[in-house]
A and B are shown apart, each in its own frame.
Chain A
């Protein structure tokens, strides 16, 4: 829904010269890339290369020191523009992005369905005027949306289970559905399968593949090279806080130019 308001003229996501330091350590040294609507970007690189920090900057979990982030041509982050850093603007703009964590981070005290609906209900309470007059309809709509998403990830029958009763793969699929509840324009994944064994990894990757077929725009930080080769439209290889090499999966995986990338891929 949210993604439809953006015109075709601009790339859906544009990141310009993003920089970030922690103390004296420069973690991002000027990251620029763009992504079209419906594309999947895979970010690869060894740990400490800055890929997770980049993802966290996109999701406003970290505030970049410099650079811009534009969605559909509209800046959602600009280090020079203090008004975009106001808490209320951050809260509004961050919903452009969804984030799926490495360790799922489902809320243990809520059922699967409640995990999906919690944020939506709280947001409707605050922002939807219809909530006061016709609470029942609003809640029903949210529930139905959640049930639709659960059907899509094949976990509709688990809606009343608690997260601890699910396998890791199922938990991660629920986490994906939870992120989709707020219809983000861009869905981000932070190593979504590194806490899972190979069997469970498959079912999560299948869901991500399915999302791509549905036209979702995604940014995936991953260690699954086969998956990146298979699903991504673009691959970025990061090293030492810069984009060392980028291109289509074929370019990056079949004819890597940078020696760093070559040694990374040969591991």
Chain B
């Protein structure tokens, strides 16, 4: 990427070539986005379960952790995750064997870890609210009809939880699209990083503004998707 940009420094950056470069960066943005969701949703569910556990020490520990993550900037968490282990072990993560000396991969994994953890905590709170908002009577109605706990959860409760969380989840997911831009601070070559490089090396500023179109397009797609889902579910509820 660096080489590509430098070799073209003196060429006129036409619209198509800039679009192609930004699209390349956006691929990384999308990868970060989807992988974050892939990890944050199951971990969010796990965190939600732990923060509802009867065993108090674990429950309070979980809630304290969620509080810390939600109470500090994602930017700070990114720095800590990417740089602190390297400082502590006196060997930066880019030199760790598991990353095969692949510098972009090391940074990407670090960022992915921070994003996943951060979003898992937000999701956990959404899931917890979604579960706790189900009226107790729904569980009792299943109980008196002789249904087992598993049947109750999968046949009656789950869809109601999904309905409860769909609006706040859609919010968080759209926020995540934009938050991925923070990954550039830890050298992840996503779309915003790519545009900054064009500015730095070619002194053209408009690609930076052009990135907005990519974010907008993708957000629109997600909003549409969530809208359809919400409409489908609202058939059952007033």
Contact = CB atoms under 8 A, between A and B. Distances in A.
Interface string A185-212: 0000000000000000000000000000
Contacts of A164: 236-238
Interface residues of A, number: 25
A251 B151 CA distance: 46
**Residue among A61, A95, A122, A164 with the highest chain B CB neighbour number at 10 A:** A122
Nearest to A119: B145
B200 interface: no
A109 B236 contact: yes
A195 to B, nearest CB: 11
A91 B144 CA distance: 8
A162 interface: yes
Given A105-B135, A107-B156, A162 B144 contact: no
B102 to A, nearest CB: 47
Contacts of B238: 164
Given A109-B159, A122-B155, A178 B137 contact: no
A103 interface: yes
Interface in A55-113: 59-61, 91, 94-95, 97-99, 101, 103, 105-109
B140 A105 contact: yes
Nearest to A61: B140
A60 B144 CA distance: 8
Looking at chain B, what size class is its interface with the partner chain? 20 to 34
Given A107-B156, A109-B159, A98 B236 contact: no
Contacts of B148: 91
Nearest to B137: A105
B235 A107 contact: no
A101 B137 contact: yes
A162 B236 contact: yes
B205 to A, nearest CB: 52
Contacts of A123: 146
A206 to B, nearest CB: 23
A51 B155 CA distance: 31
Contact of B144 (A61, A108, A109, A122): A61
Contacts of A99: 144
B141 interface: yes
Given A108-B160, A109-B160, A109-B236, A119 B137 contact: no
A215 to B, nearest CB: 22
Given A107-B138, A108-B236, A122-B151, A98 B160 contact: no
Nearest to B234: A164
Contacts of B159: 109
Contact of B141 (A94, A97, A105): A105
A148 B39 CA distance: 49
Given A61-B140, A108-B160, 9 more contacts: A94-B143, A94-B144, A95-B146, A105-B137, A108-B236, A108-B237, A119-B145, A119-B146, A122-B155
24 contacts: A59-B144, A94-B143, A94-B146, A95-B146, A97-B144, A99-B144, A101-B140, A101-B141, A105-B138, A105-B140, A107-B156, A108-B160, A108-B236, A109-B156, A118-B155, A119-B142, A119-B146, A122-B147, A122-B151, A122-B155, A123-B146, A162-B235, A164-B238, A179-B145
8 cross-chain pairs, A with B, having the tightest CB-CB distances, nearest first: A119-B145, A105-B141, A105-B137, A164-B238, A99-B144, A109-B236, A109-B159, A108-B236
Interface of B: 135, 137-138, 140-148, 151, 155-156, 159-160, 235-238
